[in-house]
Homo-oligomer: A and B are copies of this chain.
Amino acid sequence: MTDEITAHLRLPGGPVDLAAIETDAAPGFDGKKADGQAALAAMAGELSDLQERLWAERTAGSERRVLLVLQGMDTSGKGGVLRHTIGLVDPQGVRITSFKAPTDEERAHDFLWRIEKGLPSAGYVGVFDRSHYEDVLIARVRELADRPEIERRYGAINDFEARLADEGFSIIKCMLHISADEQKVRLAERLANPEKHWKYNPGDLDERAHWPAYRDAYETALEHTNTDVAPWHVVPADKKWFRNLAVGQLLLETLRGLDLQWPKADFDVAAETARLDEEAPVQ
């Protein structure tokens, strides 16, 4: 059973101490890797059914949609979650937006301008691979904005997410939590395997040197933006299989919580059936 997992992921209110949250645990799941992979695969049918209902609702005018925000240090596995967990959902109903370093045009606007453009339409499961949180993480660590602007952004983010919730968004925010040692192992793997060289960037090591500053920036961001309408989840991510399973469970419970119903016909079913039965021969 996987229903016990999510209670362990929800970040409590108050100050955040990431060092106190284990990275290599599998909280709430009583099984090994193969069990976890099987449990994730077993979610596919229900995820698929619920996503189709969400999509169908849209045709009846519903504004509801899901936004899954994935944050984490380099190599924490955002791409793995997209491939293995989001890959279970019908791609017609998924919209993935990846946020890289902002372009000149993006920099000439407020930090939320490009985020707005990447939001999912009604009926979609939207996924942010990095997000507006970069603007209080790398922007804080690398001083890409001055401190008053960084401080302003926490409140702006909360207002923004509250507005989205009012519009019909269900927001799931996940920090994929790995240890510095695990990141070192993963970077070494990328360097050792020519098929993974394209994933490696010398800048990754420059960022890694700022690990403590990033941890502080995460702790501050998580504390300031851990709201009831858009709560944070810290997902232990040293075990890739648990990371994928945990995000799947969060998505599943969010969709379940929407109590999604198939829309009722907005036409006369009997009349249409008769029309089809009685049509003139075609061809």
Q: Which residues of A contact B (CB under 8 A)?
A: 19, 56, 59-60, 79, 82-83, 86-87, 89-92, 94, 96, 98, 129, 180, 184, 187-188, 191-192, 194-195, 197-202, 205, 208-209, 211-212, 215, 262-265, 267, 269, 272-273, 275-276, 279-280, 282-283
Bound-state Cα–Cα, A187 to B195, Å: 48
Chain B contacts for A90, CB-based, 8 A = 82-83, 87
CB within 8 Å for A200 and B265 given contacts A184-B276, A209-B279, A272-B205: yes
Q: From A206, which residue of chain B is reached at the shortest CB distance?
A: B275
- A282 in complex: contacting residue of B188, B192, B211, CB < 8 Å: B211
Interface of A: prevailing SS: helix
Chain B contacts for A212, CB-based, 8 A = 282-283
Chain B contacts for A269, CB-based, 8 A = 191, 197
Bound-state Cα–Cα, A90 to B96, Å: 11
Bound-state Cα–Cα, A13 to B96, Å: 39
